[in-house]
Structure 1
Amino acid sequence: MTPTMYSPDGRIYQVEYAIETVKRGTLAIGIKTQNGVLVAVEEKARALQTSNITQKIFQVDRHIGVAAAGYIPDARIQVDRARLFAQSNKIAYDESVEVETVSKHLADQCHQFTQYSGVRPYGVSLIIAGVDQKGESVYVTDPSGTYVSFAAVAIGAGAEEVNDFLEKAYADNITLEEGAALAIAAVNLKSHNEDGVKHIKMAFISSDTKSLEKVSDEDLQKYSKLALEKFKNNA
């Protein structure tokens, strides 16, 4: 079965298999707030693994970050192409690329890999979050080539339950700090860990600086306490 073949009932199995790969990946979350955006992932390091290096959060440009769920090597390839695209846009137009433009570019590449024989669809979904001339944005791409804008979204294992939780707990006027707390509460919803943060990596982009910053372990602990105070009743 090649990516170009439809089944008799109108399905493309290779694309559906790729989407299933995403559903088996560890959880990733993106949240838009009134003063920035953030991405968070569940990432459990092995005993001897260097824990301060994030494997599933990437920086595309100064003002754009990506979180991935699924087959991470595919994510690295897409992020490399997004970086090249962002820098080419800067050289050509002398301005930072818009978040939606990067999202569409990556979605177009995903769609191309559903059309040609001899290749397979990317087995990864990406949350692309950033702050540009239009404000704060969070997009999700999937292996089919779809890209959709969200205020808050989860992808990966258990995403349906986490998205239900986000729908209940999210508010349009949420701050960046409250968004970080919400992301921790959402990750811990599926990990059955009410207050731990060792398994969580996070980065945010403030609307003021428009620059990706990694959230320290100390700040994660602080946001974890806020999560228990503010969102425990929504779980």
Structure 2
Amino acid sequence: MKNFTISLYTFHICQSFANALDEVDENASLLWENLAELGKTTLPFPKLKDLKSQLVCYNNDRYDPAQEARKSSFKLTYTNSLDLGSIPTTEGFSIHGNLQAFRLHDTYSGDLTLFTDPTQEIGIPQLQLFGAQSLIPTKIQASLGQTLWLYGEVDATADECLEVANKCANALVAGTDLYPIFQYQDYLFGSLLLEFQVINPSHPEDFYVKSCNLSNKINSPFDLPL
């Protein structure tokens, strides 16, 4: 695959009906804490590790949602988006990162996007270099769910694209108790879109897992049916 991108979209309760107007949920900061933890472990971007210092809702590394009122925009970063820079891999290529953080009414939302240089080709085994096992729902714990969005360009037929998407989905949850189930396929802007639902057969009631989707957008040269 070329021009590969993986994006983690997260949605998390900031304020519920049980909270007063000047209060937030007791676990409101959990999303940002867990994303920052990625910077200390599997995705060692310095700015991700120090994410708290990049967010309006923190003051000297202490969660302080009252700070948000001082910024009129719904964005929680001091800039439009946070350029995380690049980290090297053992395969000789670099992974670049970008993060956006928002508060939309009573909900926190994050967009962590990892990508390679457009001409860099990667194979299925190299997906683990993107810290895939750390992006699973039980690690991120986004209370309203999450979506992992993969984009890649391949020279393949529709059937071959489905096979690639299946391999990607399984590679992302390799070594975990999770299992991806293919849901449907469609076309989006001329590219094949394939969606999977992640389940944990041992704990089917696990909300974090039930609320996780995997979306694969494969750009290939076959014609879009009309």
TM-score (norm 2): 0.29
Q: Point out the structure with the larger strand share.
A: 2
Q: Point out the structure with the larger helix share.
A: 1
Instruction: Say which structure, 1 or 2, has more relative contact order (CA 8 Å, 6+ apart).
Output: 1
TM-score (norm 1): 0.29
